[in-house]
Amino acid sequence: MNRVLIVCEYVQSYVYNEPFNAEPPRSALVSSYVTPVELFFKRNHGPIPLVDDIERDIRMLPKYNVTATLQCAGNRRTAMSITRKVKGVGWNVSAIGNAVWGGAKLADILELIGVPKLTSSTQSGGKHIEFVSIDKCEEENGGPYKASIPLSQATNPEADVLLAYEMNGEPLNRDHGYPLRVIVPGVIGARSVKWLDSINIIAEECQGFFMQKDYKMFPPSVDWGNISWNTRKPQMDFPVQSVICSLEDAQSIKPGKVRISGYAVSGGCRGIERVDVSIDGGKTWREATRFQKTGTPYIADGISNDKWAWVLFELTVDIPQSTEIIAKAVDSAANVQPEKVQDIWNLRGILNTSWHRVHVRIGHSNM
């Protein structure tokens, strides 16, 4: 007994031949707090649609700007695959970006069709909001990409779920969902559906491939021979994460002062309480400086923070010899990154949030 809300009507649709996935160099991520559009990672599950502009009705609703970090669930998958082979796009550490998204709040739109704010169930039994894309996917047997979130999240204005038509103050480009996409802050990127076509109010979770047979967290004991997809819920919030971006692994540096910088982020509206850095392989630790906006002190869960955005960190240390540098973050709920990737290995290679390690050697440097 689905209730369908048509978001926009597309006049024409063409597609490219192949999906496109790309990430920037890690050093580019810490060059600015807000990631420039041209440096924002690109993740697609099917060919990129070419569509005309949306009808203008949505632009008549109150517009909100939400600074939010999107992260692919497979970020850092390549490092997990080194431990034991996994299946998926081979991401390094840059399948993540922070942007200012502009658009209408989903809670406002649902209220227009009679679903009050802070609703967890409709009178007809609807408990989830399904987003359907114009994007066609092989995994959906040629059907559209789709995902869902709980109705309670969709109708909560504080959750800041947007139907976005702008990114960093400009109209969305095609790679990032032009003309209209969903932004679900604090949740893995797979739920922020691009090229939005329609919204359904449904009783159960979306039954699409990427909700039911992908993006689920399994223990290391599960492989492709014994997997049972229905034993796990679809992954939503992403765990606490940090990455060193100023240094590449196996990089040569000169002895002396070295600036170590990177990003830290946690899902579910959890701030970053601390970022610890070790320059001796984890024997001793130092606390890094954390910041978001220049000139504004960062305090985890502070009212002046961008609650859905990453935190950048930095620490300058003296490194006299070749060593292993490690970063690990702690969020405001005291969640800590796990030490070993082996402990969180899973067959799809998602949510690699293990301590981030970079090996440097003393020698000639191009820094």
CATH number at residue 345: 2.60.40.650
> Does residue 234 form part of some domain?
no
The verdict on 101 and 183 lying in the same domain is yes
Q: b or e along 272-297 (b: 16 or more beta carbons within 10 Å of the residue's beta carbon)? A: bbbbbbbbeeeeebeebebebeeeee
Query: If pLDDT is split at 50, 70 and 90, which confidence band does 274 have?
Result: very high
pLDDT of residue 14: 39
Mean pLDDT of the chain: 93
- Between 152 and 296, the more confident residue is 152
The verdict on 53 and 187 lying in the same domain is yes
- Between 14 and 75, the more confident residue is 75
What phi, psi does 200 have (nearest 5°)? -115, 140
> Does residue 176 form part of some domain?
yes
Residues 6+ apart with CB under 8 A from 252: 360, 361, 362, 363, 364, 365, 366
What phi, psi does 26 have (nearest 5°)? -60, -35
- Between 193 and 3, the more confident residue is 193
| Measured distance CA(317)–CA(350) in Å, rounded | 32
The verdict on 273 and 145 lying in the same domain is no
Sequence-ordered alpha helix ranges (H) in 21-63 = 26-29
| Measured distance CA(194)–CA(184) in Å, rounded | 11
pLDDT of residue 12: 36
Residue 100, beta-bridge partner list: 67
The verdict on 117 and 252 lying in the same domain is no
| Measured distance CA(292)–CA(310) in Å, rounded | 7
The verdict on 207 and 304 lying in the same domain is no
pLDDT digits (tens, 9 = 90+) for 143-177: 999 999 999 999 999 999 999 999 999 999 999 99
> Does residue 223 form part of some domain?
no
Query: If pLDDT is split at 50, 70 and 90, which confidence band does 297 have?
Result: confident
The verdict on 86 and 155 lying in the same domain is yes
> Does residue 7 form part of some domain?
no
Closest listed residue to residue 116, CA positions, set 151, 163, 74, 80: 151
Residue 361 has pLDDT above 90, yes or no: yes
pLDDT of residue 15: 43
| Measured distance CA(239)–CA(270) in Å, rounded | 9
> Does residue 203 form part of some domain?
yes
> Does residue 227 form part of some domain?
no
Query: If pLDDT is split at 50, 70 and 90, which confidence band does 88 have?
Result: very high
pLDDT of residue 51: 86
Q: Which two tokens stand for residue 81?
A: 């695959």
DSSP structure class, residue 232: S
The verdict on 283 and 140 lying in the same domain is no
> Does residue 267 form part of some domain?
yes
Mean pLDDT of 168-191: 97
Question: 346: alpha, beta or left, given left = phi > 0 and alpha = psi -120 to 50?
Answer: beta
pLDDT of residue 18: 67
The verdict on 183 and 277 lying in the same domain is no
| Measured distance CA(20)–CA(13) in Å, rounded | 18
Mean pLDDT of 196-205: 97
The verdict on 209 and 248 lying in the same domain is no
Closest listed residue to residue 26, CA positions, set 312, 269, 308, 254: 312
The verdict on 245 and 189 lying in the same domain is no
- Between 46 and 89, the more confident residue is 89
The verdict on 249 and 208 lying in the same domain is no
pLDDT of residue 45: 86
Query: If pLDDT is split at 50, 70 and 90, which confidence band does 279 have?
Result: very high
> Does residue 218 form part of some domain?
no
Residue 356 has pLDDT above 90, yes or no: yes
Residue 55 has pLDDT above 80, yes or no: no
Mean pLDDT of 197-226: 97
pLDDT of residue 365: 56
Query: If pLDDT is split at 50, 70 and 90, which confidence band does 363 have?
Result: confident
Domain encompassing residue 313: 241-362
Q: What share of the chain is helix, strand, coil (3-state, %, to 5)?
A: 15, 35, 50
Q: Are strands 181-183 and 241-244 parallel, antiparallel or unpaired?
A: unpaired
The verdict on 186 and 307 lying in the same domain is no
| Measured distance CA(270)–CA(332) in Å, rounded | 6
Per the CB < 8 A criterion, the answer to whether 67 and 37 are in contact is no
How many domains does the structure of the chain reveal? 2
Around 4, how many Cα atoms within 13 Å sit in the side-chain half-sphere?
5
Question: 136: alpha, beta or left, given left = phi > 0 and alpha = psi -120 to 50?
Answer: beta
CATH number at residue 77: 3.90.420.10
Q: Is the dihedral of CA 31, 91, 267, 2 positive or negative?
A: positive
Question: 82: alpha, beta or left, given left = phi > 0 and alpha = psi -120 to 50?
Answer: alpha
pLDDT of residue 225: 96
| Measured distance CA(232)–CA(90) in Å, rounded | 24
